[in-house]
A and B are shown apart, each in its own frame.
Chain A
Amino acid sequence: MNAYWRFLIKKALITILTIFVTLTANFFIFRIMPGDPAKLLLNDPRLKKENIELVKKQLGLDKPLWQQYLIYMKESFKGNFGISFVHNVPVSQIIAQRLPQTLLLLSVAIAISTVVGIAVGAICGWKRGSKLDATLLTASLISYMVPTFWIGIVLLMVFSLWLGWFPVGGITTIGGGAGIPRWLDVLKHMFLPTVALVLWYAGEYVILMRGSMLDVMKEDYILTAKAKGLRSLTILKDHAVRNALLPVVTLIALNIGWMVGGCIEVEVVFSWPGMGKLIYDAVLKRDYPVLQGCFVIITITVILANLIADLIYGYIDPRIRRGTM
């Protein structure tokens, strides 16, 4: 069998196992821990009468634990995560509404910060030791270390509350029309959350890309290129950056779990109606079914994103394809 296929199957198996473990952990976290939230699921006064019977049947609470577990697994695979206490509608329905909003914010922020981070990191690595390098690196370190939610709060205070340039939160203005004006309105709402996220992500990418550039610059082929008398811009573009990119792009993909964390922080600050805000509200209102559903969906999405990153990396890097690593 081809080594890449073996690599692929191994990764896929681990992914399936991880998803399985996540679902199992989710089941036990909410049943065995103190306070027994499973009982809370039934006794919550906010749950409507007709839904109580439904939940009882869905959770199989009259059956032994192992049967509850099997029922839970079956329902999870069908995408059924119970009924929200607060909204009294299926959790999956709420998540389906919120997930696209998070993906929109996340993908725009990742795209911008990848470009910015890689460009700045390449410049830093190329001009290493210079004043420019030191300044840009320090700025990146700071923007990476400052808490993302706090950057969000400061942006919100300055640009929305004091200067009034941007809306205070949400995704659209109520009654904002349709078509192009609506999209412009969304863009305006998206601007500050995106800036907050980009400041954090890009800070990390700069540090990664700079490190990768420093490794590459030590390679013999850079010396060869210089000896051949190639223009430095050509060396930078075609020899250094291209080779430095690979590990960085992989790390970006593998870091998706962290990015989701930043997204939760920012969504809360800007009341962006995505998964992060949903989790926050669920925590505040002790809406356990929603919390569980969000946890499972986010974790599985991140696990799958990691798998895809691994596969792409394996495909790009011939060493993995040939099984030498």
Chain B
Amino acid sequence: MKKLKGFIKELLSNRYGLAGVIILVPYVILAIFAPFLTPYGPYEMGGLKEVLLPPCKEHILGTDDMGRDVWSQLVYGARVSMTVGFLAAAFGVLLGTFVGLLAGFYGGVVDEVLMRITDMFLVMPTLPLMIVLAAVLGPSIWNIILVIAVTGWPGTARVIRSQVLSVKERPFFEAAVCIGEGDLGLMFFEVLPCVLPIVFAESVLWVADAIYSEAVLSFLGLGDPTHISWGMMLNFAFSSGVMARAWWWVYPPGMSIAFVVLGFTFIGSAINEIVSPKYKEV
């Protein structure tokens, strides 16, 4: 607990960390308390007179072409976008960490094979691969999460591998080897704790990437129609053909994506800055 407090203090004293927190806190509050902050449901359609209303008292961000409240969609969209971001990042980082750990720890042939596979994924253009996978798997929020995680792990694997290699050079590791600790013990109790801070920083940066990817996929019409995300709002606006008459429908979701991506990137870089020097001292 004390460590966590110290960490938060450090994060807030970092210029980028503070900026990131300031950007993200409102969005996290929106996502958590969505039902209490929205006067309408995100799918609740209005009557004919409520179509494409500009911002007014009843609809603070106006309505879309089906009379749905844009503010409510935006707030629930925060939920969808961030959930997808967190879960996709968690799975991707987990997979990347595992591969990086194995490759760095065993070295030799294992390393060679895993890193060649990683390299293959790294040179592949991510978006076309995601589009193909999402199109074949079908529109569901879990498929989107899977697709983002599958295409994103190689970067993490590379970072973790290089960290593992440097941990292996340290005296305490040699000591652990000398007292006869097994492979699994060495990997999970000696090496993993040392790379965890970097894993954490990677995960946060990854959330930013994942949220962006989800937005693009949903904008391209590959999203889950039962979960309105920011990308999907833009997809609706774009394909409605009337977006020129409804700036209130187009600006909020796009700016929200940008802010949230920026926020996570700031915090991720700040964590990187905080954990890196400490990590060298250990």
Report which A residues bind B (CB closer than 8 A). 14, 17-18, 21-22, 26, 29-30, 33-35, 37, 141-142, 145-147, 149-150, 153-154, 157, 161-162, 256-258, 260-261, 264-265, 268-269, 279-280, 283-284, 286, 288, 291-292, 294-295, 298-299, 302-303, 306
Contact = CB atoms under 8 A, between A and B. Distances in A.
A147 B120 contact: no
Nearest to A15: B123
Contact of A294 (B116, B123, B128, B234): B128
A299 to B, nearest CB: 6
23 contacts: A22-B124, A33-B137, A142-B258, A147-B215, A147-B219, A147-B254, A147-B257, A150-B234, A153-B238, A153-B250, A154-B250, A157-B250, A257-B125, A258-B126, A261-B126, A265-B127, A268-B219, A284-B221, A288-B135, A291-B135, A295-B131, A299-B125, A302-B125
A157 B243 contact: yes
B212 interface: yes
Nearest to A36: B136
B119 interface: yes
Contacts of A280: 220-221
Contacts of A21: 120
B251 to A, nearest CB: 8
A149 B214 CA distance: 13
A283 B127 CA distance: 13
B238 A298 contact: no
A257 B135 CA distance: 19
Contacts of A303: 123-124
A19 to B, nearest CB: 10
Given A145-B261, A147-B257, A153-B250, A29 B124 contact: no
Given A147-B215, A264-B128, A279-B131, A141 B262 contact: yes
B247 interface: yes
Contacts of A294: 128
B216 interface: yes
A272 B23 CA distance: 35
Nearest to B244: A161
B133 interface: yes
B132 interface: yes
B138 interface: yes
Label chain B's interface by main secondary structure. Answer: helix
Contact of A150 (B131, B257, B262, B265): B257
B201 interface: no
A299 B234 contact: no
Contacts of A34: 136-138
A157 B244 contact: yes
B198 interface: no
Nearest to B123: A306
Nearest to A262: B127
Contact of A153 (B127, B136, B234): B234
Contacts of B212: 147
A257 B152 CA distance: 13
Nearest to A261: B127
Contacts of B262: 141-142, 145
A147 B258 contact: yes
Given A35-B136, A141-B262, A283-B221, 6 more contacts: A145-B262, A147-B215, A147-B258, A154-B254, A257-B123, A257-B125
Contacts of A279: 128, 131
Contacts of A35: 136, 138
A145 B250 contact: no
B28 interface: no
A291 B128 CA distance: 9
B132 A291 contact: yes
A295 B212 CA distance: 21
A25 to B, nearest CB: 9
Most chain A CB within 10 A, of B120, B132, B237, is at B132
Contacts of B250: 150, 153-154, 157
Contacts of A22: 124
B249 to A, nearest CB: 11
Interface string B113-147: 00010011001111111011101111000000000
Contact of B254 (A18, A150, A283): A150
B222 A283 contact: yes
Contacts of A161: 244
B238 A283 contact: no
Given A37-B136, A153-B234, A153-B238, A146 B124 contact: no
A279 B125 CA distance: 14
Contacts of A150: 234, 250, 254, 257-258
B258 A299 contact: no
A265 B247 CA distance: 20
Nearest to A305: B123
A302 B237 CA distance: 32
A295 B219 contact: no
Contacts of B136: 29-30, 33-35, 37
Contact of A29 (B126, B127, B133, B247): B133
B138 A149 contact: no
A295 B254 contact: no
Interface string B234-266: 100110000110010011001001100110010
B119 A283 contact: no
Contacts of B247: 157
Nearest to B211: A147
Going nearest first, the 3 A-B pairs with the smallest beta carbon separation are A261-B127, A150-B254, A161-B244
Nearest to A149: B219
